[in-house]
Amino acid sequence: MSPLQLLWFLLLAVLFIGFFVLEGFDFGVGMATRLLAKNEGERKQLVATIGPHWDGNEVWLITAGGAMFASYPLWYASLFSGFYILFFLVLVGLILRGVSFEFAAHAQSQRGRDIWRWALFVGSVIPPFLLGMIFTAIIQPLTIDGKMDIYASLGEQVNLLTIVGGVAVTLMCFMHGLNFIRLKTTGALRLRAWAYNRILIWVLYAGAVVFALLVYVSTDFFVKRPLSSGIIIGLIVLAIVCEHFAILKDREGLSLITSGSALALVVILIFNGLFPRVLIAKEAVNSLLITQASASNLTLTIMTGVTVVLLPIALAYFIWAYVVFHKRVPELS
Amino acid sequence: MGATVLDLARFQFAMTTVFHFFFVPFSIGMALVTAIMETMFVRTKKPLYKQMTLFWGKIFLLSFAVGVVTGIIQEFQFGMNWSNYSRFMGDIFGAPLAIEALLAFFMESTFIGLWMFTWDRFKPSLHAAMIWLVWLGTTLSAIWILSANAFMQHPTGFAINQATGRVKLVDFGAVIANPQLWVEFPHVIFGAFTTAGFAVAGMAAWRLLKHDHEDFYLHSLRIGLTVGLIAVVGAIGVGDLQTQFIIKDQPMKFAATEGIYKNTKDPAAWTVVELIDSKNHKVSNAVDVPVLLSLLAYHKTSGAVMGMDQANAELQAKYGKDKNYYVPAKTLFWSFRVMAGGGVVLALIAILGLWFSRAKKNTLMHKRWLLWLLGLALWVPFMLNAAG
Amino acid sequence: MITELGRYPWTVYGLYTIQDAISATTTAGQLWFSNIAYLLIFSLLGGVMVYFSHQNLVLGPDAPGTLNYGIDEITPLEGQPS
């Protein structure tokens, strides 16, 4: 394995982490418009927190997908074609959410606005749930033929681990969104979000235990990489404990950091367990390895050069946008 | 049902690309128009221009929202429906898409958020800079996705990896310098500006027919037509450059676009209309303009053009006789005439509109036939984009 | 259309045909489902966009702005520093 291949495997993990940590709270706030907000004023308050940011956050997913195509085209091709319907439904969710902000603003009647707020809610639940399913499906053995095509059966896509994975990612995104709301709003909404998370954290503890058990049973993580997998799971639990502490002490910034860390660590767990493969087949000989799936050395070199130049610039103005909008959103009528 | 997986996948690519190409050029052009209006406000401080920015900006944001979601579909589609293509081409094709995201999408989506929510906080000039950066992002994204398409039209800078049978990148500079890209990109961008220019003018015309906010819509119409006229002339000009390139690079496509089966005489006549029998490879009832095709193709009054029959023979000699390489001639022939003819018509309408609405003697409101034409012209660039 | 139909049967001109390029794992059923769904979604999105554009034209340039998702309370469109 060349250094560039390893670098891009790690970079893809970083991009997916960036996506879940950033878009994760967008999804959570979107869910909150239905599950937390009680009237249109509160929904507007929520939309105001993510209004300037959600589109830029979504670009992390586009970048992760594009980077996967560029650096690991064989992984990209097998993954996206093998989980066709799930990716299609993720797209539908993103489409509904994407237009809902603009369309809700233009709607003249409350009923019209409500329809597009529902689109925001549905479009905020579907992507994290299905992406959670996809990511936990690929850590279990799949039916892959000699031509690298995935013929995943229904059971390989919908099983206990993938359902728990989908629920876990959705729950974590919701709590992450609630922490964001606590940090970015004032008034009744902020207090209610705080109350929700004080309860949900217990659900998260239970979910983490179930998830860890299922990873132990359904994947080869504890056979192939027991030490690193064990440490990462320990860190996930630690992050949840720290999040609990931060919630109890009403430390909003720390809450957001810890809930984000938990999401990041799940991605790390997955990438660590996959390594040195990108796809795991039922017949080991058909597993797709990093060394097989990557682009050529020249392409990886060029991509590295381009990224070294462009990513810092993008991060600079991306962060600036968050600084510009650092103020809390007050209650709206 | 008879439709194979191949047919259905091709249909999906066609449909998603056509929709993508309805919304995205429109939003690229509207970003420019909105930026121009806001800049005029910054320069002149006239409230009318701020009003125009706030109004036409709404149309821009609507189109941008839909455009973005059609784009996500395209990125996923390569992996979902065309996984063998992605494997074969990924070494070259993936990089432009990744760069598009890293450079252009981050730019347009970050600065649009800033533009939308800092009206009350940024100085007017800084605020205007935000929308210009959004426009820059949309334009940069066009370069990168077109570089991928340009490669598909005119492969360069590559080699076949003998061990894997897949394409591998050999020269990234060649991929970016691909001459196909540098005629395709300006043409598409001019097309985008045309779309927005005539859309704004058309919408304004419809309201002017109702005598609604006349001052506002007259000013909007003039800005729209100015952008539209410059853009459509630019598109036609670059289209000419594209012709020079395609006649050498894809002779079959050129011959089909001109409806030519047998090689033409020297000098070659341009066929305005004709009946094409694509089954028997024959044409009839042709209305020709002498010498014009040589002029268009070579900028000279002489020069024959290769027909589809010979192009097919050459392709078969190069790639094997197991298939024929004829492309859908009827569709290409008529699409080209719609696109090019439509472009010329748009230019004429724009000139008329600008002339009759000029400040010294504005009589446009009395020429309802012209307002109707301008209103209908709203839809024309969308058709032309699809035809192209 | 000219751009894409004109290079038939190549996906990449001279190198790779369309037939070779499709996914082996995608079924006709999946494509029918996604095609119909896309058609409905695009029609809906395009229709709503045209509808709202028309609505904006009818409401006119004096109507309240929506450039900030209509959330004027915290980011008013009208107020600007000098």
Domain residue spans of chain B: 1-177, 183-388
Residue A34 lies in a domain: yes
Provide the shortest C-alpha distance from residue B109 to chain A (in Å): 5
User: Looking at CA atoms only, how far is residue C16 from chain A in angstroms?
Assistant: 17
Tell me if A48 and C24 make a contact (CB, 8 A cut-off): no
- Chain centroid to CA A229: 19
* Chain A residues touching residue B80 (CB < 8 angstroms): 80-81, 84, 87-88
Q: Which helix (H) or strand (E) holds C11?
A: strand C10-12
DSSP E strand boundaries for chain A: 277-279, 288-289
Binary contact (C52, A329; C-beta < 8 A):
no
Question: The pTM is what?
Answer: 0.92
Question: Would you say residue A15 lies in a domain?
Answer: yes
pLDDT tier at C15 (50, 70, 90 boundaries)? low
Separation of alpha carbons A162 and A233, rounded Å: 17
Cβ–Cβ gap C74/A81 under 8 Å: no
Q: Read off the pLDDT of residues A52-79 as tens digits, 9 standing for 90 and up.
A: 999 999 999 999 999 999 999 999 999 9
Instruction: Report which residue type is found at A51.
Output: G
**Which residues of A fall within a CB distance of 8 Å from C56?**
106
pLDDT tens digits for range B309-320:
888 888 888 887
B234 near B185, Cβ under 8 Å?
no
pLDDT of residue A237: 96
In a domain, A329, yes or no: no
| Parent domain of A302 | 3-324
Determine, yes or no, domain membership for A330.
no
Among A106, A150, A151, whose Cβ lies nearest the Cβ of C55? A106
Q: Binning pLDDT at 50, 70 and 90, where does residue A7 land? A: very high
Give every CB contact of residue B225 below 8 A, 6+ residues apart in sequence: B197, B198, B201, B350, B353, B354, B357, B374
- Residue A142 reports pLDDT greater than 90: yes
Q: Which pLDDT does position B1 carry in this prediction?
A: 46
Which residues from chain C sit within 8 angstroms of residue A88, using beta carbons?
Answer: 30, 33-34, 37
Q: Which residues of A touch C (CB under 8 A)?
A: 44, 47-48, 51, 77, 81-82, 84-85, 88, 92, 95, 99, 101-106, 108, 147, 149-151, 329-330, 332-333
Q: Do A48 and C34 touch (CB under 8 A)?
A: no
Q: Which residue, among B156, B163, B157, B114, has the nearest Cα to B134 in the 3D structure?
A: B114
Q: Which residue of C has its CA nearest to A77?
A: C23
Q: Is the pLDDT of residue B322 over 90?
A: no
Nearest chain B CA: its distance from A151 CA (Å): 13
What's the whole-number mean pLDDT along residues B201-219?
93
This model of the complex carries an ipTM of: 0.94
User: B215 with B365: CB under 8 angstroms?
Assistant: no
* Nearest CA-CA distance, residue C13 and chain A, Å: 20
- Written as six digits, the tokens of B330 are 């009827």
Report pLDDT for C13: 62
Q: How far apart are CA B221 and CA B199, in angstroms?
A: 9
d(CA B22, CA B20): 5
Q: Which two tokens stand for residue A270?
A: 């997955």
Question: A63 vs B98: CB contact, 8 Å cut-off?
Answer: yes
| Segment of A93-107, B304-318, B320-334 carrying the highest mean pLDDT | A93-107
What chain B residue is nearest to C29 in terms of C-alpha separation?
Answer: B5
CB nearest to B6's CB, from C8, C22, C62: C22
Contact status, residue A314 vs residue B137, Cβ threshold 8 Å: no
| Cα-Cα end-to-end distance for chain C | 49
Nearest to C75 among B11, B120, B152 (CB): B120
**DSSP letter (8 states) at residue A276:** T
Estimate the crossing angle of helix B83-99 against helix A73-82, to 10 degrees: 120
Measured distance CA(B277)–CA(B180) in Å, rounded = 30
d(CA A80, CA B97): 16
Cα gap C11→B383, rounded to integer Å: 24
Give the pLDDT of residue B291: 83
Distance of residue B121 Cα from the nearest chain C Cα, in angstroms: 6
How would residue B177 be classed by pLDDT, with cut points 50, 70 and 90? confident
What is the average pLDDT across B219-245? 92
Asked if B226 and B353 count as a contact pair (C-beta separation under 8 A), the reply is: no
CATH number of the domain to which A135 belongs: 1.20.1630.10
pLDDT at C82 over 50: no
pLDDT digits (tens, 9 = 90+) for B232-241: 999 999 998 8
